Structures are given as C-alpha cells and as structure tokens.
Structure 1
Amino acid sequence: GDNRGEPGTKHPFFSDKAVRRALAMATDRNSVAEQLYGGGLSGKASCNILTAPEPMNSKNTDGLDICKFDLNAANAELDKAGWVKGSDGVRAKGPVKLKILYQTTVNPVRQKTQDIMKANWEKVGFQVELKSVPAGTFFTNTSPDGANHFWSDVEMFTNSGDPDPTSYFVGWTTKQMTGKANNWQFGNYHRYSNPDLDAVVDSLRKETDQKKRNDLAIKANDILVSDVVVIPLINRTFATSGVSKSLKGVDPTPWDSEMWNIADWTK
C-alpha cells in the first residue's frame, strides 16, 4: 500500500544486507562507462558517492568486494543468505521473491544503463522490471512516480556536486527522511537511518580543520557504500576542452566546465 515508502516500513528483501551486497556485486559499472560514456571521455566508473574534491575521494572502497563486478560472488552471497532459485530462475525465501521495479527518467543513456543492469542482475536470480518516468514527473515531490516517494525498489539519477560536502551528506541523515509527514520534501529518499552516519555528518558540520573535514567526508562516503545504501555507478566528467603544451592560465575545477576562465588563457 501507500505505506511502502514510509520511514517505519521495512523493504521485503533489501532490508537483508546480503541482498543489497549481491546486487552491488552484480553491477557492471565498467561496461556502462565503456559503452555509454566513451570509455572515460564523459564519465568514469566509480564506487564512491563523493568523488570531488580529490582529497575527499575515498581510496578505501577500492578493496571492497561489493565494488567489484563478480557474478559468482553475487550468487554465493545469495546462496549463503538462503535465497533459493526457483524453476523460473528467480530467487525466493519463503513467499518473498527478488522482484525489482527499477525506475529512472526517460533518457537514452539511463535507459541503456538499465538494460545493462537488468541483464546481469537477472543472471544471479533477480527479476527486474524496468520503468522510465518523464523528468518533470520524476523530480517532484507530488507524484507517486517521483524520486522523492521512491515507491520503486531501485531508482537511478545523477547527484549534483557541491564544494561543501556537508549539505550533500545531510541527505542521508535520519532527520531528513522523507514521507507523508513532510509531504516528501526532505532529502533522504532512501529513508536510511544510521546513528554512526548521523554523528559523522554532525561532526562534519562543525569541523573547520580541512584535513579532518576530508577524513570525515571519506568516512561518510565509506559508511554509505559499505552498507550498500547506494550503488554508485559513474563519476560524470567533461570532455577534454583542448590539448596544448604551451597553454597557460588554465585553472580546472570539479564544479564547472574546464573553460570557465577561458578569458585568462594564453599561449
């Protein structure tokens, strides 16, 4: 019913961390980057939810098993957790089947990404139904098909950057859980609640030492990734604006086009 997206409602199978882990292991972000983002020209595979500035880009996730595409490991994770494949190839535990409704906006690249995800997820025992929603409907708090309601099982969109990561990570804190009570206007669409993350973000809000802020931002990223609250896919980048050995005055930033200060360029 309509309580499916309320903070107090548990998801029938994603509340099992093993299922979330298996989904992450069956996620082939490298193929998405290669096939849909020009092999890194306009986007690079990343398992971090925060990728910039560079001192806050975690290196800890490089060694996580959930950040490596491995269908055998995904199958083993589900086997161990007691999710059994039926004659239809879909895994179940008791009456609960691993049936996913996966939604995003109407967008060729995102829909092709859905196709790549679906093909691999179904190899390990998920049944995946794809749904595409017009952007004007998806990015609103008023529609049942909107990202804010999150009445699907998985949804995909792009997060925008912010020079200060505090406001970004606040979107996963307990006080920001969205639902009927706030007309789905708060930022925590996942309804994720973790006291450890809340404490890290609270410290980040108060900390002024840059090195400590970098460490706190990395810690927040690592909590979200390791708990498989999100499955990061692509760090979208701008295509190279030009190539020259004698070009001077270039001042790149992760927050804007490389050409933001082109008036200052000289040769």
Structure 2
Amino acid sequence: MKRRTALMGAVAAAALVPGMVMAEERERGSSGHLNVIYWQAVSTMNSYLSGGTKEMNAASVVWEPLARFDNEGELVAWLAEEIPTLDNGGVSEDLKTITWVLKEGLLWSDGTDVTAEDVVFTYEYCTHPEGGCSYRDRYAGIESVEAVDDRTILITFEDATPNPYIPFVGAGSPIIQRAQFQDCMGARAPECTDENFAPIGTGPYVVTDFRPNDVIQFEANENYRVANQPYFQTITWAGGGDATGAARAVFQTGEMDYAWNLQLAPEVIEQMEGGGMGTLLVDFGPLMERIELNFTDPSPDLPADERATMQHPHPILSDIRVREALSRAIDRELLTEIGYGPTGRPACNFIVAPPAMVSPNNDDCLVQDMDRANALLDEAGWERGSDGIRVKDGERLELLFQTSTNAVRQDFQALIQQWWREIGVEARLRNIDAGVFFGSDPGSPDTYIKFWADVQMYASLFEGTDPTPHLEQRRCGREPRPETQWQGQNINRYCNPEYDALWAELNREPDPERRQELVIALNDMFIQDYAHIPLVARGRVSAAANTVGGIILNVWDSEHWNQAEWYRIED
C-alpha cells in the first residue's frame, strides 16, 4: 500500500481556501511554533557520532550537504550551485575527479562565511585515523579533497568512480564548520559536548537548547539563505515515550504536529487515525527490519575491549548451518501481517529498493521450513537435551536476543523465540530503551553499534537510489571497535574478502546495467552467507496534523529535508 505519501492533497486543498496565504507571501517565522515528537529520543546533534536515523534527521535541520535527494530520489543541488556532471565539466572524463562550487554568499548561522575549507575539514574530521565517524563509509575511495578557491572543492578518487555523488551528498554527509570543530578531531570528537549539542549550521534552524535523550528547542536561523524561510519560528522536538503515545498526540489530542516512525500494529494505526486530527504518511523505500547475527564473541567473560571484536569469532554463529537454521525457522508472512499489515512486505534481501536492484534469487525464505532448520542443526552436531534445547560439547544452544523497546518488536521477539525454541534454540530476550539502544555514547554497553549480544533486531536504510555506500558498510575493517570509539556501520562484524573485491568492482563500474548486476550479486553473497536475517521491508510511517502544510515525505533522504517549507494552514 502507498497511502498519502505526503500532505500534498491537504496542501492543494488548502490553496483553494479563500484568503489562503501563498508560499511567496509568507514571512519567516509567520507560522509560529511547531511541535515534533520522536518517541526514540535524540542523543546528540552531531550525526557523525551516531548511526541512528533519529540523530541524522534532527541534525538535518541544522547541517546541510552540497546536494541531496528529493522525494523522487532525484539528486538536487543544495549548498552547491549545480550538480557536477560530465556534460558541464564538473566530472572528469576519466571519472576520477568531481568539482563542486558552493552557492555565492552562503553564511553559517553565526554570520560567518561558508568556504571550501569547511568542506575539506568535514572530510578530515570524518576520516581522522583516531576518530569514530559513523558515516566514514561515505568517504571511501577518496584520494584527496582540496579547496581550489573559497567556493570550489575538488575531490579526487583513487580509481574511476562512476557514482561520485556520495561524499557530501545526502543528510548522512553534511558540511560542518571548521572554526567550531577544529579542536574536536579524532579521539576528542565525543568529548566536545558544547559543539556536539549545539552545532553551527547553514540549515533553516539553530539549536537553542538540547537535552540528551529528552527534548530539543530550535529557532529560525536568521542567516538562512532563503529570505522568507523557514516559516515556523520555533520548534520543540520532544523525545521519549512510545509510538502509541506519539500517534495519539497527533491523531487524537492534537498536542503534536508531527510524529515520526509510527511502528505500530495496523489495527492500532487504523483506530488512531479515526481521531480525524491528522494524516498518515506512508511510502516505501530501502527501510528494512532485520535480525543482525554477531560474527564475534560478545561474552562478558572477555575483557571489555575484546568483546565483540574480530579477534574472537562467535563460538556458535560462526557456523553457517546455525545461521541458516535460524532464518529458515521464521515465518515472515505472519510477522508482516501482525506487525505492519499493508505498511510492510516480507523481505528476503539486504537491498529492498529501488526495484531494479532487488534480487529475485532469495524468495525461498518466504516459506517457513522447520524441517530444513532442524536438519541443519542436526548436521552441525547440536543434539537435543532433555528440555528440548540443543547441546554440543557441553554448551547449550542459547542466544541473547536484543532490540529496542517497542510493542511491535516485542511481539516479533516473542514469536521468533517460540519458533527458535521449536528447533531447539533458546533465545533470552532483552529490550532496551530506544534512545539508549540507538544512542551515541561510546561508554554505554547497550547500543546496537557496540552489539554486546548474540543477535539483535532493528531497521535501517540508505540515502538516494544507489546502495553502493550501504553495501560498502559490510566490508572488512568497517566494524565498530574500541579504537574507533565503537563507531562504524559493519554492525555484525562480517568480513569476506570476496565480498570486498566485488564491492570494489561495483565502485569502479560505469555501466548502469552491470552495476545493477553487481548490486544483486553483492546482496546475494551477503544473504546466502546468512550474514543477517531480513524480515520485513517497511514503509516509512509518520503522521502530520491536518493544520500543517508543505510536508513532503521523503524515503531517500532525511524526513525533514524540506523543513524550511513547512507551514501552518490557517482557517
């Protein structure tokens, strides 16, 4: 189902109302105050220090990239004057360089000039050898980033790069101010509390107050480049609670104007929407709920700096037969029906969008196969004990299964626990507050990035329509580890040199059809290695009050990509 992908209908209808103020007539701040609720509270305003979507979305109203993706997945210039191409000379014939030119007159929110040196610094910040940049994959394969002059940036790649639109493109790769962060490089990055909580940006809003895992107060950026935007003067970005409460606050009580990520059972959403005060926003993109399998040993018996690191392979999940058995035991059709209804689709792939890059080779996962699961565990030497749980060499087949606190995820955990027990696997369930689970504190033992559990469940996505950087995340060396302050996107610590070599080929390949073939091949290698367990391709599901216009849901970039254009619909 693709229901109301934006409030375009409401906006169009409002435009016909007598006395309606048109966009060109609105003034900065004329819409007053906006209330946003993220039931997964934001832990930092520095999205480079967190892999969480909630942090990226919050930061995106302050920090901006050179270009980003619109709601159709098309690349559009943002801080750059135009998109560099072969035709306009911005991309070299050998595909090894791309030249970006900043728009003239750009200012940081503190009134100082934005220059090419800020772009160079952003690269240096995120690729510092002692740093823990969560989005370092965006800068893979770069030889150098240079400031040609105050507005011109030259990026040189190590090899021919057919898709040079990854670094500094999209909400995950924004430009940060050198002057503010120059003393926050490397290992010092997470220590710069003032900078990380109140970043200076070019976006439509500035942070006036930030309380980690609680609430953010924003105010319109008086130096924003569009003279009459943003239309809302202030924003309260509340965090905490649960998805049910967030939905109720928009649909029924009217306390909130926008609620993100309404991960609720379909019957709950339907009942909530009956309140009539809000509109449900749904669209499908690359978002996919899955179970990550830890390839390393998270045992608490290991020293803290050796838990879930590559030096200790997982004693159970290193066997592909066990990983496959866990996947075969799951009924994805039932999970989708119970958890998401028409806002979800059963998934068998790592890459679930765009359609041309979705593999047709793994659909056998759609059928639950307990016989095959049991046979695999028998073959692997796991024998059932007197309580039905399998044992091998005196060790029980027992796994710690963690996820964030959410009603749908806890329902999933209970069902999966039951199915795994039927094949002789004991799953100990643990759920963690979403603000902590998706948080950025390198000292916390409970983040999904640190992964001090055997298996864990969550969803993630990528920006734009090219999954190259998303696939790059699973390369050897991209795993979180102590020396990177536990940052990195190879969450399950997967390492396969053949995968790395195939990804390198993808990164060099100019032919679109061959690129599609390579994406599918990489997906199949990862999936058929049972490196993780896909469950449900999820639609992005949020809600907006009927009194707010200008919202265009975007599954390819930040959900707040056009925040400056949101406005209050007047009676």
What is the TM-score of this pair, normalised by structure 2?
0.41
Could you list the per-position Cα deviations for residues 158-195 of structure 1 after superposition, in whole angstroms to 9, with x for gaps in the alignment? 01233221110111100202211211111112111101
CA contact (8 A) 2:346 2:366 kept: no
Aligned partners of 1:97, 1:202: CA distance in 2, in Å?
A: 40
* Counterpart AA for 2:447: G
Cα deviation for residue 67 of structure 1 reads 5.4
Q: Distance in 1 between matches of 2:460 and 2:429?
A: 21
Q: How far apart are the structure 2 equivalents of 1:69 and 1:161?
A: 28
Match of 2:332 in 1: 29
Runs of 4+, deviation exceeding 6 Å = none
What is the Cα deviation at residue 36 of structure 1?
Answer: 1.2
2:345 aligned residue (10, 19, 44): 44
**Aligned in 2, Cα 1:136/1:238: closer, same or farther, shift over 3 Å?**
closer
Deviations 1:2-34 (A, max 9, x none): 323011211110011111111011111111111
Residue of structure 1 in register with 2:323 after alignment: 20
Residue 165 of structure 2 corresponds to which residue in structure 1? none
From 220, 224, 232, the counterpart of 2:534? 232
Distance 1:86 1:6, change over 3 A: same
Alpha-carbon distance change, 238 to 159 in structure 1, aligned in 2, over 3 angstroms: closer
1:79, CA displacement in angstroms?
0.9
Aligned pair 1:185/2:487, yes or no?
Answer: yes
Specify the alignment match of 2:376 in structure 1.
77
Structure with more helix by fraction = 1
Question: Contact 1:137–1:145 at 8 Å: present in 2 too?
Answer: yes
CA contact (8 A) 1:48 1:225 kept: yes
Whole-Å separation in 2 of the counterparts to 1:62 and 1:70: 13
Structure 2 counterpart of 1:147? 448
Q: Does residue 222 in structure 1 map to residue 524 in structure 2?
A: yes
Does the aligned pair in 2 maintain the 1:53–1:254 contact within 8 Å? no
Candidates 109, 127, 145, aligned match of 2:408 = 109
Question: How far did residue 155 of structure 1 move?
Answer: 0.5
Structure 2: gaps (5+ residues): 1-301, 542-552, 563-571
Matches of 1:206 and 1:142, distance apart in 2: 38
CA RMSD of superposed structures (Å): 2.1
Structure-1 separation of matches of 2:352 and 2:359: 8
| Residues in 2 aligned to 1:181 and 1:224: alpha-carbon distance in whole angstroms | 26
Equivalent residue number for residue 55 of structure 2: none
2:399 corresponds to which of 89, 100, 107: 100
Q: Which stretch shifts more, 230-239 or 218-227?
A: 230-239
Q: How many residue pairs end up in the alignment? A: 244
Match of residue 390, structure 2, among 91, 95, 107: 91
Distance in 1 (alpha carbons) for counterparts of 2:539 and 2:435: 24
In 1, Cα distance between equivalents of 2:349 and 2:431: 25
Tell whether the 8 Å contact from 1:28 to 1:116 is kept in structure 2 after alignment.
no
The Cα offsets for residues 86-138 of structure 1, whole Å up to 9 and x where unpaired, read as 01111111022211110010111111111111110110001111111111211
C-alpha separation in 2, matches of 1:107 and 1:207: 41
The answer for the alignment partner of 1:168 in structure 2 is 470
User: Hey, what's the Cα distance between the residues in 2 that align with 1:15 and 1:143?
Assistant: 26
Distance of 1:62 and 1:78 partners within structure 2: 22
**Shift in Å at residue 68 of structure 1?**
3.3
Contact 2:332 2:366 in 1 (8 A): no
Identity %: 37
Aligned to 1:5: 308
Aligned to 1:157: 458
For 1:29 and 1:4, how far apart are their aligned partners in 2? 31
| Residue of 355, 358, 361 corresponding to 1:54 | 355
Name the SS for the 1:44 alignment partner.
strand
| Mapped partners of 1:192, 1:161: distance in 2 | 19
Q: Secondary structure at the match of 1:235?
A: strand
Could you tell me whether the CA contact under 8 Å between 1:7 and 1:178 is conserved in 2? no
Contact 1:177 1:189 in 2 (8 A): yes
Tell me which amino acid in the other structure corresponds to 1:170. Answer: E
Instruction: From the superposition, tell whether residues 123 and 166 of structure 1 become closer, same or farther in structure 2 (CA, over 3 Å).
Output: same
Does 2:431 align with 1:132? yes
Letter of the 2:454 partner, please give it. D
More strand by share: 2
Aligned to 2:546: none
CA contact (8 A) 1:12 1:96 kept: no
- CA displacement at 1:208 relative to structure 2: 2.1
Which residue, out of 197, 203, 208, partners 2:505? 203
Query: 3-state DSSP class of the match of 2:460?
Result: coil
**Does the CA-based 8 Å contact 1:83-1:93 persist in structure 2?**
yes
Whether contact under 8 Å (1:138, 1:147) holds in the other structure is: yes
TM-score (norm 1): 0.86
2:263 corresponds to: none
